[in-house]
Amino acid sequence: MPKVDIASASQSSGTRYPAPFAGPCKGRQLRRLGDAAGLTQFGVNLVEVPPGGWSSQRHWHTHEDEFVFILEGELIMVTDKGEETMRPGDCAGFKAGDHNGHHFQNRSSQRAVFLVVGSRNEADECGYPDIDLLALPEGFTHRDRTPY
């Protein structure tokens, strides 16, 4: 496999969440390293969260495993079990179908960077335990599945 040029990997910032859920995630930056490497069975993303930002809304996946490895800074991992500080070298895994919602908040004054690796399952749906939101293959909906 050829070396991936991180600087040329596809990049996006912010979020696709509908209002009013986008605010805490607007500063997030994401580089699609798995796409840059031509991977098709799992995704690898390099995520940067600025001070005060969130990685995502708290969520869980129906059909995708997810693995997170902290590279820089300090993040607070928020799950159904509470909060835990994550620093460089720390990692966490979330099994598909486990309803333990999770996300990462940057409460520090420095940026935080982590890798997230996940399956690529087209049937995947995301539940958001704290807000009226579902992510379905066709887009975001309310919990009752009416579109935003």
Question: CATH number for the domain including 91?
Answer: 2.60.120.10
Q: How far apart are CA 148 and CA 140, in angstroms?
A: 6
Model pLDDT, residue 137: 95
Model pLDDT, residue 43: 96
Q: Is residue 21 one of the residues assigned to a domain?
A: no
Q: Is residue 109 one of the residues assigned to a domain?
A: yes
pLDDT at residue 1 greater than cutoff 70:
no
Which among 97, 79, 90 is positioned nearest to 115, based on CA atoms? 90
Model pLDDT, residue 57: 98
| pLDDT tens-digit series, residues 56-97 | 999 999 999 999 999 999 999 999 999 999 999 999 999 999
Model pLDDT, residue 2: 85
Return left, alpha or beta for 129; rule: phi > 0 is left, psi -120 to 50 is alpha, else beta: alpha
Task: Give SS3 for 39.
Answer: coil
Q: How far apart are CA 31 and CA 49, in angstroms?
A: 12
Q: Is residue 2 one of the residues assigned to a domain?
A: no
Q: Is residue 121 one of the residues assigned to a domain?
A: yes
User: Mean pLDDT in the chain?
Assistant: 96
Q: Which domain holds residue 91?
A: 27-141
Domain count, the chain: 1
Q: Is residue 4 one of the residues assigned to a domain?
A: no
